[in-house]
């Protein structure tokens, strides 16, 4: 096969390959291992020298799908509890296929009024879902990290202006270090965003009362007071990845207001706490933030890549990113929005389409029911751990993350970290269920994040059965 124009009317055959594979693959996710060990031979089939003469779209995709089904980590299934990763609802997946089919240039209204309008609608629906005031600006990003970059770039423009500098035009030269304060719950993606923006990841200062990361409000206020009126950024966190904990946003908002600081909230998956009366208190005060980060490929269950950035005053988006200033990229108006002037990307996929599709398909009620079910599943897992004599729940189950460790009788305390490290490795190698390890209060822990739309109580019960299959032999070596 040479020039792809030669495929012509047969171009749809490659898509038919994916369509034929999709049904059996999706229907089998409930029984499939999360990961099958792929030997080098399977993955090696993808390599070799660049073909001089191609095999054509249909044969190429046949090979990709055949290898992919065997070698992929099936993170869209119900038992991927590692990281904080949702799957893709049926409507979101179909919306993503439509995105590839239509292949819109989503940054400019001129290039795609469809993509711009769908993004505007999707952002409005997300604000309704989370209880964010409608006057907030927003933009879709590839990830929560990029959403942090967006929100903190707006905060930086605000901060620099208070020092008399247009940082977008003139950069950071001559400016003092940017003061950024948070609790011990802060996620590394916030530091990464500061690193990307030129402020250094380690300049962020944390104020915690103890090793749980709980914010020390008195120490934080003292640090703000010591700035003597100079502007600063305060980062609040909703949904810490190891325990699901949250900062007290009303108190942080009060502090920011008293000291003239910018409040940035990381609610990557915690924003969805707003959907349940049981957890909505965790997002109380979020509407008072100056910028908010949330994520779609977590609890919204849309495909990668999907992040959201919301800004109280949309003017800061224009000041931080602005028009491109070249004649072939025309400006737009209040209704005809150019989203590539509101965030860090120029070329942008129309990632709003799967978001629109899933919210249209299931609505507020459907997402509330899913969140409530996940809260029930997490609470069920926590209760089973509490009842098990060889497991220890290390933090309250506040949201959708369960933090615990394996602690069988006879294993010395000083060897429990090693045991849980080995158990975590064995769990991933086994492949039936995926859950990660982390550190909490100086201890190696297991953690399960429950955000996939397919997950039920049976899936977390299987997690414990697998741990009890694998754990005893590992523990015997350490007694």
At 243-276, the pLDDT tens digits run 999 999 999 999 999 999 999 999 999 999 999 9
CA distance 231 to 162: 7
CATH code, 364-476? 3.90.1150.170
Cβ neighbors of 413 (< 8 A, separation 6 or more) are: none
DSSP class of 191: H
CATH of 95-359 among 3.40.640.10, 3.40.1280.10, 3.90.1200.10, 2.40.50.140: 3.40.640.10
Query: How far apart (Å, rounded) are the C-alpha atoms in residues 310 and 458?
Result: 36
Question: Cα–Cα distances in Å, from 401 out to 213, 232, 461, 462?
Answer: 16, 31, 15, 16
pLDDT tens digits, one per residue of 172-208: 999 999 999 999 999 999 999 999 999 999 999 999 9
What integer pLDDT is reported at residue 103 of this predicted model?
96
Q: How far is CA 220 from CA 208, 223, 251, 309, 332, in A?
A: 9, 5, 11, 25, 42
- Separation CA 319–CA 142 (nearest Å): 21
Nearest of 300, 186, 316 to residue 245 by alpha carbon: 186
Tens digit of pLDDT for each residue in 100-141?
999 999 999 999 999 999 999 999 999 999 999 999 999 999
Q: With cut-offs at 50, 70 and 90, classify the pLDDT of residue 240.
A: very high
Say how far apart CA 144 and CA 21 lie, in whole Å.
31
């Amino acid at each position: 096969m040479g020039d792809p124009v030669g495929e012509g009317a047969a171009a749809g055959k490659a898509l038919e390959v994916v369509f034929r594979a999709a049904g059996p693959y999706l229907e089998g996710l409930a029984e499939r291992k999360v990961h099958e060990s792929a030997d080098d031979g399977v993955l090696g089939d993808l390599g070799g020298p660049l073909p001089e003469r191609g095999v054509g779209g249909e044969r190429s995709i046949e090979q990709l799908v055949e290898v992919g089904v065997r070698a992929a980590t099936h993170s869209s299934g119900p038992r991927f509890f590692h990281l904080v990763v949702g799957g893709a609802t049926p409507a979101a997946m179909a919306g993503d296929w439509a995105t590839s089919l239509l292949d819109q240039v989503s940054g400019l209204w001129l290039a795609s009024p469809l993509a711009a309008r769908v993004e505007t609608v999707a952002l409005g629906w997300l604000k309704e879902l989370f209880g964010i005031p409608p006057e907030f600006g927003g933009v879709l990003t590839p990830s929560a990290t990029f959403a942090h970059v967006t929100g903190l770039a707006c905060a930086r423009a605000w901060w620099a202006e208070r020092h008399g500098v247009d940082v977008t035009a003139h950069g950071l030269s001559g400016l003092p270090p940017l003061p950024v304060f948070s609790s011990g719950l802060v996620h590394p993606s916030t530091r990464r965003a500061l690193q990307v923006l030129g402020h250094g990841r380690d300049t962020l200062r944390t104020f915690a009362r103890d090793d749980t990361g709980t914010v020390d409000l008195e120490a934080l206020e003292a640090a703000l007071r010591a700035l003597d009126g100079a502007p600063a950024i305060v980062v609040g966190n909703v949904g810490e990845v190891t325990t699901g904990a949250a900062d007290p946003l009303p108190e942080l908002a009060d502090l920011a207001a008293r000291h003239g600081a910018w409040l940035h909230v990381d609610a990557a998956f915690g924003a969805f706490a707003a959907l349940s009366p049981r957890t909505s208190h965790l997002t109380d005060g979020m509407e008072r933030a100056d910028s908010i980060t949330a994520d779609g490929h977590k609890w919204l269950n849309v495909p990668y890549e999907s992040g959201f950035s919301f800004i109280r005053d949309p003017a800061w988006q224009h000041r931080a990113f602005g028009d491109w200033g070249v004649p072939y990229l025309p400006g737009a108006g209040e209704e005809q929005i150019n989203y590539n002037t509101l965030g860090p990307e120029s070329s942008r996929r129309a990632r709003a389409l799967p978001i629109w599709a899933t919210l249209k398909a299931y609505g507020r009620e459907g997402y509330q029911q899913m969140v409530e079910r996940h809260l029930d599943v997490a609470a069920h897992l926590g209760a089973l751990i509490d009842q098990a004599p060889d497991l220890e729940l290390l933090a309250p189950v506040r949201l959708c993350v369960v933090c615990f460790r394996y602690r069988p009788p006879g294993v010395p305390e000083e060897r429990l970290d090693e045991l849980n490290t080995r158990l975590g490795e064995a769990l991933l190698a086994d492949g039936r269920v995926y859950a990660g390890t982390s550190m909490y209060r100086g201890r190696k822990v297991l953690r399960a994040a429950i955000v996939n739309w397919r997950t039920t109580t049976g899936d977390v019960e299987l997690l414990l059965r697998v741990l009890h299959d694998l754990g005893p032999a590992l523990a015997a070596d350490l007694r």
